Amino acid sequence: MKFRTYFDVDGVDRSGLASQVAAQHDRVHQRLGTVRRVVAIMSGKGGVGKSYCTAGIATAAAHGDRAVGVLDADLRSPTVARLLDARGPLAVDADGVRPATGIGGVRVMSSEFLLDTGRPLAWQEPEGHAFVWRGTLEAGALREFLADVVWGELDLLLIDLPPGADGVADLRTLVPDLSGIVAITIPSDESERSVSRAMRAAHEAGIPLLGVIENMSGVRCAGCDHIGPLFTGNAGKALAAEFGIPLLAQIPFDPASPDTPALWRQVLQLLLREPA
Amino acid sequence: MKFLCVDCDEQMPLEERREPGDGTFAASFRCPRCDRSVVMLANPAETRLVGALGVKIGGRELDAAPMELVRGNIVGRTDAFTEAERRSGRPVWTADAEGRLARVPNFVHGMVKKIYTEYAVEHDITEITPEVMDQARSELGLEGM
């Protein structure tokens, strides 16, 4: 049988799928037109404190009279909203969904507001074959969090990515103007290898790597105030050297430390600095 | 996506689309030259995959509502979103009414609260009391709630 293929047929594609997808991307672009910098917080593995670091930077920004938003892209394990004391319900009007307000006026969007307490992320679904469409749906949710939330004028929008490198490519597609990524690691060698892989993926996707934060970088002795090691390894410095980027901060495992806010302010200054 | 009538070498335009409500999707295409028609029948998984993109085959008649994809698909809180124009006029629950609501089984708690709240809004009731709950239950046939 002889027949023409898609691009040989000149007629209009009336499925409208391509034009609708393009319109969705335009909507993201328009919504983020009032946001000065979009920075993603990433790690190669879970449990390194991405959300804690996101909340620390956001709080420093809010206390410095900066307009800041936090988008929790970790749909399956949302934690940053609670760290910022932001709660639903979310108001909806013709312009979109109003973000919740957290500490210092930080504007927050998270699946935390949508899920019943203690329940995992779940979608209305026909029996079986969920693997076919679930990833697409979750990428769509991230797109709606970007495009349909009324972020308003922001100096900084922080995106708290889920562990691993998967979310990085989706984000790059949705936000071509992404200012860059901050990688979070703990000092261990295992974390270094895992975070390195995720950073490599981001680099290969053409996303600027802004710096590394080493979290849980030692623990302070309650008795003598000495900071001793919590993990063996030197992942922060090693990753910074490997990718030729700054080690933005080494944050000790001591959330109550009086020094920590100054470290977050230092990170913030570096993130808000316009590229040379 | 384009459909081609091979015999006529002519593109077949979309004629009609149907969503019968069982998770499947159907779209018919007709050749403008020979009048032959074909129907594309998508199974639930295929239909779901396209739906997960947040698009409508054949184009949209209405613009997407804010967070339409998430709100239409996530299994979660029924009170996660409030319509802004109603938020300021949201009725207040008295402690007695909250106490009665607390006796409702957990899995329907959100839904029942929403029903009473919407009833109050529709009737311009600013405070939900046990008496308002009785009134709504009687009018709406909500025995047991």
pLDDT at B145 over 90: no
Q: Please tell me which residue of chain B has the smallest CA distance to A96.
A: B66
| Range ranked top by mean pLDDT from A177-191, B37-51, B117-131 | A177-191
Q: Which among A60, A109, A62 has a CA at the least distance from the CA of A270?
A: A60
* Residue B2 to residue A6, Cβ atoms within 8 A: yes
Instruction: Please report the DSSP string for A207-254 in residue order.
Output: --EEEEEEES--EE-TTT--EE-SSS--HHHHHHHHHT--EEEEE-S-
Q: In terms of residue numbers, what domain contains A187?
A: 18-272
pLDDT tens digits, one per residue of B70-114: 888 888 888 888 876 444 567 777 767 877 776 776 567 677 887
The series of mean pLDDT values per 10 residues for chain A, 276 residues long, is 89 79 90 94 90 94 92 92 92 89 93 89 72 82 94 95 83 89 95 94 92 89 78 91 95 78 89 72
Count of domains for chain B: 2
Yes or no, beta carbons of B77 and A115 under 8 Å apart: yes
Across B32-44, average pLDDT:
92
Residue B28: which CATH number?
2.20.25
CATH number reported for the structural domain that contains residue A101 in this entry: 3.40.50.300
User: What is the Cβ-side half-sphere exposure of residue A114, based on CA atoms within 13 angstroms?
Assistant: 26
Instruction: Please answer whether residues A17 and B1 qualify as being in contact, where contact means their C-beta atoms are separated by less than 8 angstroms.
Output: yes
Whether residue B60 contacts residue B44, with contact meaning beta carbons closer than 8 Å, is answered with no
Q: What is the CA radius of gyration of chain B?
A: 24
Residue B8 and residue B46 in one domain: yes
Domain assignment of residue B7, given as a range = 3-57
Report the residue of B9, B55, B60, B68 to disrupt the A interface, i.e. the one with the largest count of A CBs within 10 Å.
Answer: B55
> Which chain B positions have a beta carbon within 8 Å of A125's beta carbon?
48
Which spans in chain A are helix H?
17-31, 50-63, 80-83, 130-147, 166-174, 189-204, 235-243, 260-272
The answer to whether residue B68 sits within a structural domain is no
Give the pLDDT of residue B85.
47
Q: Which residue of A has its CA nearest to B50?
A: A133
- Give a yes or no: residue B76 inside a domain: no
Mean predicted confidence (pLDDT) in B56-78:
78
- Comparing CB atoms, the residue among A21, A113, A140 nearest residue B80 is A113
Considering the domain boundaries, does residue A11 fall inside one?
no
Instruction: Determine contact: B4 vs chain A, CB below 8 A.
Output: yes
Helix, strand, coil shares, percent, chain B, to 5: 40, 20, 40
**B77: chain A residues, CB-CB within 8 Å:** 88-89, 113-116
**How far is Cα A220 from Cα A14, in angstroms, rounded to an integer?**
64
**CATH value at residue B113:** 1.10.8.550
Residue-level pLDDT at A231? 80
The pairing of strands A154-160 and A180-185 is unpaired
Query: How close, in Å, is residue B108 to chain A by CA atoms?
Result: 12
Structural domain includes residue B22: yes
Q: How many domains does chain A have?
A: 1
pLDDT band, residue B22 (cuts 50/70/90): confident
A42 located within any domain: yes
Measured between beta carbons, which residues in chain A are less than 8 angstroms from residue B82? 89-92
State pLDDT tens for residues A34-76.
999 999 999 988 889 999 999 999 999 998 889 999 999 999 8
Query: Which of B4, B49, B84 lies at the smallest CB-CB distance from A132?
Result: B49
Q: Do A126 and B50 touch (CB under 8 A)?
A: no
- Quote the minimal CA–CA distance from A209 to chain B in Å: 29
